[in-house]
Structure 1
Amino acid sequence: MTRGSTAHSPPHEPLGDPQLRRLVVGQGLAAVVDALFVIWLTLFVLRLSEPGIATGFVLVAVALPRAVLLLPAGVLVDRFDPARVAVAAAWLRVAVLLALGALITFTSPSVTMVALLAALLGTADAAYFPAALALLPAVVPTERLARVNALVQGAESGGDLVGPAVAAGAIAAIGFDATLGGIAVLAALTAIAFSTLVRVVRRRGGAGDDADPDAIDGERQLSSARALGAGLSYAWREPLVRGMLVAIAVINIAVVGPVIVGGAVLADQRLGGAGSLGIVLSGFGAGSVAGSLMAGWRPPTRRGWTVVGGIAAIGAGTAGLAAVTQVVAATAVVTLVGLGSAFLGVVVVATLQERVPRQLLGRVMSLVVLATVAFEPFSYTVAGVLLPYGTTTLFLVCGGAVLACACLVAVSPVVRSLR
């Protein structure tokens, strides 16, 4: 890929090129849309029915196709260029949001109809997430990948932090219909921003300057099943990719459920009531924003040990929750976990984007997303199994598992030598 059009921008100006600005704006808006829509959907379903199985049914309708279709979507990203897949997914999101808006404005929607449209949105998400991650190396110069990833992930963390309050406030002020219309407008702006990048990626060859044209042609001649198998085989054979994926999976299993479920119990038992949980979780959001921006502002020179340190910080923070008895201490510890998670996320994604062959990047990025989202049910199961033994046991066991993962990663010469 020819990157001469961005080479003139100084290194300290990661968004000096308008194409990079459009990329960051598009991905940032997409993250905000996700954060707003999840809250909108939850509150709207609660209005349609009593709290209970209906809410879970609709949220599963979003999550299930997203998880099931992620790996096939990775094949799609590699078979076509990531810009075109990202654009198609972005416009599908717009179409689903508009259809949902028409449904609630002109009819009396049922939970089933809302769930069917939510499932289409989950399908769009399955294509969008790996395409968006694979798109960055097609537009961003290698030396700026960490900084642009930091800005994108910072926007995602910021959306998660303020999204619930903004969505709930907008619904209270202007109602469900108008709020969904605003979300659809943001989604359309996202799609427009991505659409402007298709020609850029096509002009630069789409696959990257390190891609092997023969390898790309060979990949495109494979059946979808064999192409998926080739991607899984590559991820398993490569120690760096395998180690990163295992670390992401372990962190998500051992941290997400225990912090949310165990944190609620901890707040009720030790921190003065359920209201303190919001304060503690806001610390995680603030730490995530700070960690993302820190990783981009001063990218680490010794990435291998940074990965080990990030995993260890997450494990230590999770285990540290076993000892907290005050809201301030719990918030500080959870902020550390959020900071370490976000910092690690930027480093891991940027490292894989730089080192994975472009013709396999979509499939590897789909595995990264899968390791992030598919293990959440297991994480909640782990929390449910350990909670009867007390929150102290829950946090010590889960934190210890992450610390053990840090030790295993540290003994890998491939990771230790990573620069």
Structure 2
Amino acid sequence: MSKSENIYIGLRGRYVVHKRILSTVVAVGIIATMGSTSVFASPVQDAQSKLNASHKNVQDLEVTMEKMDNQIETIMSQRDSVNKKISEAQSNINEAQNDIETSKDNIKEEKDKFADRVRALYISGSTQSYVDILLQSKSFSDMVSRIDAIKQISDYDQKLVSDLKDSQNRIEAKKDKIVADKQQLEALNKENDSKLKELNDKKNEQNALVAKAKAEESKDAASLKAQQDAEKAAQARAIALAAAPKATPAAPKAAAPISRGTSSAPSSNKQVSAPSSFAGSGNDVVSFAESFRGVHYVWGGTTPSGFDCSGLVQYVYNHFGISLPRTSQEQAGVGTTVSSPQPGDLLFFGPASAPYHVAIYAGDGQMVEAPRTGLDVRLTPVRNYSLIKRVK
């Protein structure tokens, strides 16, 4: 082989090596360019933004549902209290009516006694008039005695009957007031029934909106996955194209093959750290609360046959010997306010002074809640809360 042929072979080998290196660099540049141009609204980023918006819409609608449920529970609690007062009022009315009848009987009895006392003035026991009694006087002094006796009996009887009538009037006035109060309570319940119907109608409309929003969210999630898959496929094709061997002109001697490492698209799967183990009673509270996952949401529910948000919290803590009030508003007033939640702490949503929802923090950014009608007790990511209370 001549010297010129050796020089040609050397130059040709270097050219092939440099070209392959350049192709790899170009492929990496293409991928980097694809990644950088996503800043300018790539299809994947557009799909992700759309999914984020639809997910937020679902959360906002569910928060509205939670507020409606809280209003319904409040009105139902008021109705229960009003019904109890109506029952008590009716019992008082019945008692007053019995007292009135008794008073009437007493008045009649006293009048009868008066007649008996007057008759007692006669030796014969006849039932004559006052005039007859006086005419039968044997003397003037006897007539005066009879007049005085009749007057004393009459005055005493009139006072007694008057007192009884006053008592009867007071009882009747009391009864009239109780009847008026009962009518007001019944009117309040009618108003509450009207509010309940209005809220239930709105809740049915809201349920339809939530279902529609969730369908849109699912559609956007599928669109995002399709765009991500398409982008991964495009990246893989770019790498394969850049790494493919190129046809080279015939040479006296083929250059030795250059060894190249394989390249793969980065995985999009994120490693989620395992939840840290909870210590002490916080772990026990969370574990016990999670045991009710799947239990239906029920307005006013306080047992495993059905829970509302505060009913679940009350039941769980009662299991550990801690008595909590019934409603989320009342529960927000107990325990210690803290700035960072620990497992077992209570998270409140809405105004801190009058929250409409409560959940149990489970750790690792999760919480256990009885969310709203149509959903069951669940473990779900923490949302924006307004207050943290530690009661254990």
Q: Tell me the TM-score range normalised by the shorter chain.
A: under 0.3
Larger proportion of strand = 2
Question: What TM-score, normalized by structure 1, do the two folds share?
Answer: 0.21
Question: What TM-score, normalized by structure 2, do the two folds share?
Answer: 0.22
* Larger RCO, structure (CA 8 Å, separation 6 or more): 1
If you compute each CA radius of gyration, which structure gives the higher value, 1 or 2?
A: 2
Larger proportion of helix = 1
